[in-house]
Amino acid sequence: MKYAVVTGGTRGIGKAISERLLREGYCVTAVYARNETAAQSFLEENKDFREQLKLIKMDISSAEAAQKLGDEIEKLLPGVDVLVCNSATTDFTAFGNVLPVEWTRVIDTNLTAPFFLIQRMARLITRESGRILLLGSYVAKYPHARSVSYGVSKAGVEMMTKYLVKYFGEDGITVNCISPGTINTAWHDEKTPEHRKRIEDKIALHRFGEPEEIAELCMAIIKNQYINGAVLDINGGYCYQ
The pLDDT of residue 145 is 67
Q: Which of 44, 1, 2 is nearest to 15 (CA)?
A: 44
Percent of the chain as helix, strand, coil, to the nearest 5 = 50, 15, 35
Residues 199-222 have pLDDT tens digits of: 888 888 999 999 999 999 999 999
Confidence of residue 241 (pLDDT cuts 50, 70, 90): low
Buried b (16+ CB within 10 A) or exposed e, 36-56: eeebeebeeebeebeebbbbb
Residue 142 pLDDT greater than 80, yes or no: yes
Q: What is the average per-residue pLDDT within 146-175?
A: 96
- Burial of 134 (C-beta count, 10 Å sphere; 0-12/13-18/19+): buried
Nearest to 173 by CA among 118, 136, 211: 118
Mean residue pLDDT of the chain comes to 94
Q: Give Rg (Cα) of the chain.
A: 17
The 10s digit of each residue's pLDDT in 24-36 is 999 999 999 999 9
Domains of the chain: 3-234 (3.40.50.720)
User: Which positions are catalytic?
Assistant: 150
Across residues 112-119, what is the average pLDDT?
A: 98
Q: Do the Cβ atoms of 150 and 91 come closer than 8 Å?
A: yes
Question: What are the tens digits of pLDDT across the range 35-53?
Answer: 999 999 999 999 999 999 9
